[in-house]
Amino acid sequence: MTDYTIFNIVWFTVSLSTAWLFTRDRRKIARIVRMSAVVVLLSFPWDCLAVAKRAWDYGTPGPRLFGVPLNDLLFIFSCSAFSGSLLLSQAIGRSNSSAEPQKK
């Protein structure tokens, strides 16, 4: 197991824990997971093409899927989940504050 794999596992745990703390709703977590999966699916061809065209190389990061390390896909997923949870919590906070009557 490489250092990058350990980093990704720790970051994955931290980001999903943070997502749960910010949202605490299974439907919202499911929305975040779906959004993160879409981001991974959109970024995978980009990484695959870049590796195939030798724009960059990952060295020996571990198992690969069509030349793209699974570590990279896990990192993209966890970053998307973290960002999605922050954005979703901000959107919820804004909608709750706008529902309160304004004081004059």
Give pLDDT tens digits for 15-29: 888 777 877 778 888
CA separation for the pair 19, 89 (Å, rounded): 9
What are phi and psi for residue 68, nearest 5 degrees? -95, 125
Mean pLDDT for the chain overall: 80
Alpha carbon distance 70, 12 (integer Å): 13
Which one-letter amino acid corresponds to residue 80? S
Pinpoint the alpha helices (H) of 53-102: 70-99
- The pLDDT of residue 42 is 93
pTM above 0.95, yes or no: no
